[in-house]
């Protein structure tokens, strides 16, 4: 059936995405190690903990503190994306979710859709944002928004499974090509 073929397509696209992202990380090592002009100070592990913890807080980042609504929208957007990916993976292995978990996934996906569309509208309407943006900024946001919308709708109408899988395939194949790859590089760069 079409849904089964697309299910395998999702699995293959996830594999292609992970292999491509891994290649990009390995490729970064070809640039060599940068010469550091200052002596190392402090514990590297504490730096990593800071980068994944307190360093993510808006009061630690001037750009986030000055744009708090956008920062908060970003949190909801990413939480929604995470929930949609978890939902997709559970759908691939045919796990039936309890009502409470499904409600949480729906809520996070809805919050993600609202935040994602809001951020896209802001990018379109704000002259400084639009001026700084490239086509990938718009495409990445639109693809992820479609993924969130299809995941949310799928939680109510599983009959759209082929569409949901097709959107997931497009997103996973796009990840290594565009700015969405930050979902992978985010962890790598903070450890570095």
At 19-29, the pLDDT tens digits run 998 888 888 77
In three-state secondary structure terms, 126 is coil
Between residues 33 and 156, the one the model is more confident about? 156
* The model's pTM: 0.86
What pLDDT, on the 0 to 100 scale, is given for residue 180?
83
Write down the pLDDT at residue 118. Answer: 94
The answer for 42, left when phi > 0, alpha when psi is -120 to 50, beta otherwise, is left
What pLDDT shows up at residue 191?
A: 62
Structure tokens at 140: 């990445």
Nearest Cα to Cα of residue 149 among 113, 111, 101: 113
Q: Considering only 8-12, 52-56, 134-138, 166-170, which range has the smallest mean pLDDT? A: 52-56
Choice between 10 and 40, residue whose per-residue pLDDT is larger: 10
94: left (phi over 0), alpha (psi -120 to 50) or beta: left
């Amino acid at each position: 059936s079409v849904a089964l073929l697309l299910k395998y397509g999702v699995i293959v696209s996830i594999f292609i995405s992970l292999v491509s992202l891994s290649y990009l990380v390995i490729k970064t090592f070809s640039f060599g190690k940068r010469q550091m002009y200052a002596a190392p100070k402090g514990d590297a592990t504490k730096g990593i903990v800071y980068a994944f913890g307190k360093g993510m807080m808006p009061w630690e980042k001037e750009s986030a503190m000055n744009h708090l609504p956008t920062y908060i929208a970003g949190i909801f957007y990413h939480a929604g994306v995470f929930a949609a990916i978890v939902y997709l993976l559970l759908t691939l292995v045919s796990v039936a979710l309890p009502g409470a978990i499904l409600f949480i996934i729906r809520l996070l996906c809805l919050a993600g859709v609202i935040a994602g569309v809001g951020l896209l509208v802001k990018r379109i309407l704000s002259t400084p944002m639009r001026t700084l943006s490239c086509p990938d900024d718009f495409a990445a946001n639109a693809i992820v928004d479609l993924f969130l919308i299809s995941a949310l709708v799928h939680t109510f109408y599983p009959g759209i499974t082929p569409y949901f899988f097709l959107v997931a395939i497009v997103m996973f194949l796009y990840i290594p090509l565009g700015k969405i790859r930050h979902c992978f590089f985010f962890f790598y760069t903070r450890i570095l």
